[in-house]
């Protein structure tokens, strides 16, 4: 009898958890294969005159992205938010004369409800600076 009650409790627990993981309206980010790309490659000349810009999209509740790793060889490596649309723009400009590779990591919020679970993703930028 104790085994039957135990199995019943475990079964009901698993069934109730199914709703948690399959509910698309709960505001949590789950890593589905159709999620946006989080790996970017930027090719830019070493003259130092051009600034590469990449849109990171819009984030809810005026939340913004932040740097986890800034470019080591940059003259400009910044995040800017359009106050009207909320769109976040990443701007990168290499130091004048630098030729080689640089790397940037940006943490972007993904949770619209302010929950602490699955609340951000890492955007990686591999930057190749050429002559």
State pLDDT tens for residues 70-126. 999 999 999 988 888 778 899 999 998 899 999 999 988 765 555 554 567 888 999
pLDDT of amino acid 56: 85
Q: What is the CATH code for 31-130?
A: 2.60.40.60
What residue segments make up the domains of the chain, in order of their start? Answer: 31-130
Other Cβ atoms within 10 Å of 63 Cβ, number: 19
Residue 26: predicted pLDDT: 42
Q: How far apart (Å, rounded) are the C-alpha atoms in residues 120 and 110?
A: 5
pLDDT of residue 87: 84
Overall pTM surpassing 0.85 (yes/no): no
- Cα dihedral 20, 24, 30, 34, rounded to 10, equals 150
pLDDT at 10 over 70: no
Strand-pair partners of 88: 57, 81
Question: How many whole angstroms separate alpha carbon 111 and alpha carbon 16?
Answer: 22
Q: What is the pLDDT of residues 14-55, one digit of tens each?
A: 555 544 444 444 444 444 444 556 888 989 888 767 899 988
For the chain, helix (H) and strand (E) counts, in that order, are 1, 7
Q: What is the pLDDT of residue 124?
A: 92
pLDDT for 25 equals 45
Q: How far is CA 15 from the centre of its chain?
A: 31
């Amino acid at each position: 009898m104790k085994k039957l009650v135990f199995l019943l409790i475990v079964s009901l627990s698993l069934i109730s958890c199914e709703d948690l993981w399959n509910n698309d309206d709960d505001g949590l980010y789950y890593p589905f294969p159709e999620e946006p790309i989080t790996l970017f490659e930027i090719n830019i000349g070493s003259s130092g005159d051009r600034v590469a810009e990449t849109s990171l999209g819009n984030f809810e509740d005026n939340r913004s992205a932040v740097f986890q790793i800034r470019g080591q060889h940059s003259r400009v490596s910044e995040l800017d938010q359009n106050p009207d649309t909320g769109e976040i723009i990443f701007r990168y400009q290499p130091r004048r004369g630098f030729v080689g590779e640089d790397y940037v990591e940006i943490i972007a919020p993904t949770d619209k409800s302010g929950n602490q679970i699955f609340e951000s993703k890492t955007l990686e930028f591999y930057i190749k600076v050429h002559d």
